[in-house]
Amino acid sequence: MSEQVSEPTDDVSAVHRAARVEDAVHEVLEGWLRKRGWSATVVPYTGYGAPGWVRVMGRVMVSRPDRRRQRKPGKVRGWRSFTTVSAKDAPFAVEVGGRRHELVADRGGFIDTVLEADLEPGWRHVLVSSGDGEPVEAPVRIVDPAARFGVVSDIDDTVMVTALPRPLLAAWNTFVLDEHARAAVPGMAVLYERLTTAHPAAPIFYLSTGAWNVAPALTRFLSRHLYPLGPLLLTDWGPQRDRIFRSGKAHKLAALRRLTQEIPWVKWLLVGDDGQHDPEIYRTFAESHPDHVAAVAIRTLSPTQTVLAGHLPSAAERPPTASDQAGNRWVSAPDGAGLWSMLSVSGVLD
């Protein structure tokens, strides 16, 4: 059975000038590459859902036909992730639950659609294809309605050392180093493994202001360092429809609020670090959605990192507010082992 679904036609006048320039450049590059024999292929991202629906995510990219010339994943420098060419408004199809849905990607080639599907809880797969290309499997986590606990984790300096408070080093880590040069934050993978062991049905989401361009690299990093598999919730890199730069705070708050609407029966352990804005974001969310927050765990940076970040003191060190005392437990420690010790005695895992 086939279902035709398409996005509304873009109102060009409503798109920010910077985004229109970016679109024009991409159209020229895409046309030139297609003349050289390149074709549209789907890069699947990990999706999620619940019984009755599924959110499918991915991106349609223009890639070379000779895949033997592509570099091995472990040797991909960071900057290469930001020089890819997406297929604007590309048609694609999703096969799930015995139905075929035909849709159109957005101006950045992104796939982000919610479809009706009656899938059993646990890890499942849907098929996504573009044009005449072979379908690719996209993993999806179907959240069990019986689950009452879940984890939302930041990535940068929470599970992966990126030194984002130090701009020059952050740029080096992001654009120059290859994947194997990145280090995991000590003890965090063990912390998440213990949390998911204590709550086998608990879903885990990785929420970051990082770009979708690096989603494949992040997925490989998490797998290589034995983090539990979970959907990534990232952002589009580059000019937006309504502004030049996207708001990282707004992205994280919107993603958290969406989870409360889509999976309202789960209380979330929010994990982040005090090097950027995680304490502020989590505090704002906990104040507006106290019934959806089980606890907040903040990984504290070293004193040197804190000074360089310009946070004196860090938000995680402030006394609890009234909303915190109302039931949202806050813990902080420099690594996963410390956070586990504090969470164990806080009653969150009961």
**Residue 202 pLDDT > 80:** yes
CA dihedral of 35, 40, 41, 44, whole degrees rounded to 10: 140
Q: Are residues 57 and 188 in the same domain?
A: no
Q: Are residues 133 and 157 in the same domain?
A: no
For 2-49, the pLDDT digits (tens) are 343 444 444 545 555 655 555 666 666 656 656 666 677 899 999 999
For 164-176, the pLDDT digits (tens) are 544 544 444 455 4
Domain carrying residue 291 = 149-346
Decide: 5 and 101 in contact? Cβ < 8 Å. Answer: yes
d(CA 203, CA 199): 9
Identify which of 111, 106, 107 has the alpha carbon closest to the alpha carbon of residue 128: 111
**pLDDT score at 311:** 53
**pLDDT score at 226:** 96
Q: Are residues 85 and 199 in the same domain?
A: no
**Residue 112 pLDDT > 60:** yes
Confidence of residue 282 (pLDDT cuts 50, 70, 90): very high
For 87-98, the pLDDT digits (tens) are 888 899 999 999
Decide: 77 and 263 in contact? Cβ < 8 Å. Answer: no
Q: Are residues 137 and 154 in the same domain?
A: no
Q: Are residues 87 and 193 in the same domain?
A: no
**pLDDT score at 238:** 60
DSSP string, 165-200: TSHHHHHHHHHTSBGGG-EEPTTHHHHHHHHHHHST
Residue ending a domain, among 126, 142, 158, is 142
Q: Are residues 105 and 240 in the same domain?
A: no
Q: Are residues 137 and 253 in the same domain?
A: no
Identify which of 122, 180, 189, 181 has the alpha carbon closest to the alpha carbon of residue 155: 189
**Residue 242 pLDDT > 80:** no
Q: Are residues 56 and 158 in the same domain?
A: no
**Residue 187 pLDDT > 90:** yes
DSSP string, 209-225: EEEGGGHHHHHHHHHHT
For 258-270, the pLDDT digits (tens) are 999 999 999 999 9
Residue ending a domain, among 127, 142, 157, is 142
Name the token pair of 176.
């120059």
Q: Are residues 118 and 167 in the same domain?
A: no
**pLDDT score at 290:** 95
**pLDDT over 90 percentage in the chain:** 49
Q: What's the mean pLDDT when you consider all of the chain?
A: 79
Q: Are residues 77 and 161 in the same domain?
A: no
Q: Are residues 129 and 154 in the same domain?
A: no
d(CA 267, CA 350): 13
d(CA 304, CA 301): 8
Residue ending a domain, among 112, 142, 172, is 142
Which of the pair, 306 or 147, is modelled with greater confidence? 147
Decide: 224 and 183 in contact? Cβ < 8 Å. Answer: no
Q: Which amino acid, residue 307?
A: V
For 124-137, the pLDDT digits (tens) are 999 999 876 789 99
- Kindly report the CATH number assigned to the domain that includes residue 272: 3.40.50.1000
Rounded to an integer, the average pLDDT of 128-156 is 93
Q: Are residues 92 and 207 in the same domain?
A: no
**What's the domain count of the chain?**
2
